[in-house]
Chains A and B, each alone.
Chain A
Amino acid sequence: MHLPDGLLPVGMAAAGYAGSAALLGLSLNRIARLPDPGAAMPRAAMLTAVFFAVSSIAVPVPPTTVHPMLVGLMGVLLGWFAVPAILVGLFLQAVLFGHGGLTTLGLNGLILASPALIAWVVWRALAPRAPTVAAVIAGSGAAALALALFVTLVLLGLPADVDGAAERAALGVFVFAHLPLVLAEGILVAVVLRVLARVEPGLLPDG
């Protein structure tokens, strides 16, 4: 679920770069305040590799194909590091495979990194009381928010005179095709966090 090159007006693409740069600047500033910013690099790079590899896999969900996003998992496990990690993953996908886009890198970064950060905040707030529920909400919520941002941007970028009924039908199919993914992302985050808590608690944030 990446915005491709050429779809949106160039002004929106430039605004996406500005928005992503601001988000990246904020996250780098917060990372620099950590006692040892380099300590989390292996985890961030490893999850970036997972994000890169997994989001290159298209899963057939008729009548279209979708791919896992893992933005909720990235947010919960990486916190502020999720922003540079997602941007690096998107950059690699764009320049190595033409997946996503070079001009839409900023917008795609916003679509995925903002939900990741929100998932992290939600998980931190809810996890002490109900860790499984928090994980499901973080995973599914992040995927749903990314989906909503994607649809909003596509609607803004499409020609103004698109037939309303056809537009609603196309968006209905798109959202319906992604609903299993939204649910799956929540379950995946809950299972991954539960296994990590039992086997390797050091990998959990603040673990």
Chain B
Amino acid sequence: MAEPAGLLPGDPRARLAMALILAFGFAAVGQVGTVPALLALALILALVAGQPARLLRGLRGPLVLAAAFVLILPLVSGATVLWQAGPLRLRAEGLEAGLLIAGRLLAIVTVTLTLLATLPAHRLAAALRGLGSPALLADLLLLTLRYLDEVRGEILRARLARRLRGGGAGWRDLPGHGAMLALALIRSQRRAENIWAAMRLRGHAAGLAVPPPPLGASDRAGIAVAAGLAGLLLLMDRVA
């Protein structure tokens, strides 16, 4: 069983299903008046999960992007001028579109990070497999995570060796960067082949994995609540 985070379901399949239902439900919202409800729901979910610091770190990039939408779209989109200062005109339609896009973005990323970023990687692969995705995808995901440290290590070693030989930095020495990448690939490939051969010898194959147990009551309840909330939001959005 997976470790539950706060009051969230522990089964990774339930978390993935909830994330997809809520993300697509949020993405379908079309009225800016529904955005506060979206954000409140995402915030409540994040508080229930109980890892606000980690979430805030993950939200730094999306926050910058959301701010860009809110700042730029009112200046370039729409006809109804709300405020003017010289050539700058703040328009109502652009402001509405910017707030809607930014709200949907932040709510979806919050839900995604809350439900999925807290899962260990192998549980993510298990969730994909459990929800019927091809075995090759689950294998590829597991192996990618397994090799990530190897590849990072090789790239760092190749970069250090290149600097010690007097290699330049930045875009000016692109061929040098290419050669470094190629050598890191060659070294990583040798390790990767060995790891994969050992895994196959030990009988690893996602396609032959033991069938996952059925979802528990709390997992099914989590999915039902997510579907209900997404439906309620869309209803609010349509009647607004």
> A interface vs B, CB < 8 Å?
4-7, 10, 13-14, 24, 28, 31, 37-38, 41-50, 52-53, 59, 84-85, 87-89, 91-92, 94-99, 101-103, 158-159, 161-163, 166-167, 170, 180, 184, 187-192, 195-196, 199-200, 203
Contacts and interface: CB of A to CB of B under 8 A. Distances in A.
A88 B181 contact: no
Contacts of A166: 75-76
Nearest to B107: A6
A99 B77 CA distance: 26
Interface of B: 19-20, 23-24, 26-28, 58-59, 61-62, 65, 69, 72-73, 75-79, 93-94, 97, 100-109, 112-113, 116-117, 124, 134, 136-137, 139-141, 143-148, 150-152, 155, 171, 174-175, 177-179, 181-183, 185-186, 188-189, 192-193, 195-196, 200
B112 A184 contact: no
Contacts of A97: 58, 61, 117
Contacts of B144: 45, 48-49, 52, 88-89, 92
A190 B174 CA distance: 11
Contacts of B136: 28, 31, 37, 41, 84
29 contacts: A5-B104, A5-B112, A28-B134, A41-B139, A41-B140, A41-B143, A47-B185, A48-B143, A50-B155, A53-B152, A84-B137, A88-B140, A91-B141, A96-B117, A97-B61, A101-B105, A102-B112, A161-B77, A163-B76, A167-B76, A170-B76, A188-B174, A188-B177, A189-B178, A191-B178, A192-B178, A195-B183, A199-B182, A199-B183
A87 B144 CA distance: 12
A33 B87 CA distance: 62
Contacts of A158: 77
